[in-house]
Amino acid sequence: MDFVPLLQAAGILVALLVLSKIWMSKTGTQAPEPKGAWPIIGHLHLLAGQTPLFRTLAAMADRHGPIFTIRLGFRRAIVVSSKETITECFTVNDRAFMSRPQTAALKYMGYNGAGSALGPSDDYWRELRKVTTQHLLTNRHLESLKHVRALEVDLSIKELHLLSIKNECKVKVSEWFRQVTLNLMLRVIAGKRYNFGDNERDKGARQFARTMDEFMYLAGVSECSDVIPGIEWLDLQGNVKAMKRNGKEMDYFMSMWLEEHVQSRKEGKVKKDERDFMDVLLSCFPEDGDGLVFGHKSQDIIKGTALVGPS
SS3 annotation, 27-67: HHCCCCCCCCCECCCECHHHHCCCCCHHHHHHHHHHHHCCE
Please report which confidence band the pLDDT of residue 13 belongs to, taking 50, 70 and 90 as the band edges: very low
Q: How far apart are CA 29 and CA 164, in angstroms?
A: 64
List of E strands, the chain: 67-72, 75-80
Tell me whether residue 159 is in a domain.
Answer: yes
Tell me whether residue 145 is in a domain.
Answer: yes
pLDDT at 115 over 80: no
**Could you report the per-residue pLDDT of 71-97, keeping only the tens digit for each?**
988 888 889 988 888 888 888 887 777
Q: How far apart are CA 1 and CA 284, in angstroms?
A: 72
Q: How far apart are CA 2 and CA 62, in angstroms?
A: 61
Please report which confidence band the pLDDT of residue 28 belongs to, taking 50, 70 and 90 as the band edges: low
Query: What's the mean pLDDT in 260-289?
Result: 82
Average pLDDT of the residues of the chain: 82
Q: Give the pLDDT confidence score for residue 17 in this predicted structure.
A: 47
CATH number at residue 214: 1.10.630.10
Whether 63 and 137 map to the same domain: the answer is: no
The residue range of the domain holding 65 is 32-97
Tell me whether residue 16 is in a domain.
Answer: no
Q: Give the pLDDT confidence score for residue 30 in this predicted structure.
A: 76
Domain count, the chain: 2
CA trace torsion 216, 217, 219, 224 (10° rounding) = 180
Whether 282 and 164 map to the same domain: the answer is: yes
Please report which confidence band the pLDDT of residue 287 belongs to, taking 50, 70 and 90 as the band edges: low
202 or 82, higher pLDDT: 82
Provide the β-strand partners of residue 71: 76
Q: Give the pLDDT confidence score for residue 291 in this predicted structure.
A: 63
Tell me whether residue 112 is in a domain.
Answer: no
Whether 51 and 139 map to the same domain: the answer is: no
Q: Give the pLDDT confidence score for residue 286 in this predicted structure.
A: 76
SS3 247: helix
pLDDT at 204 over 50: yes
Listed residues 43, 62, 97: the one ending a domain: 97
50 or 255, higher pLDDT: 255
Please report which confidence band the pLDDT of residue 127 belongs to, taking 50, 70 and 90 as the band edges: confident
61 or 275, higher pLDDT: 61
Whether 144 and 258 map to the same domain: the answer is: yes
Tell me whether residue 108 is in a domain.
Answer: no
Whether 85 and 184 map to the same domain: the answer is: no
pLDDT at 35 over 50: yes
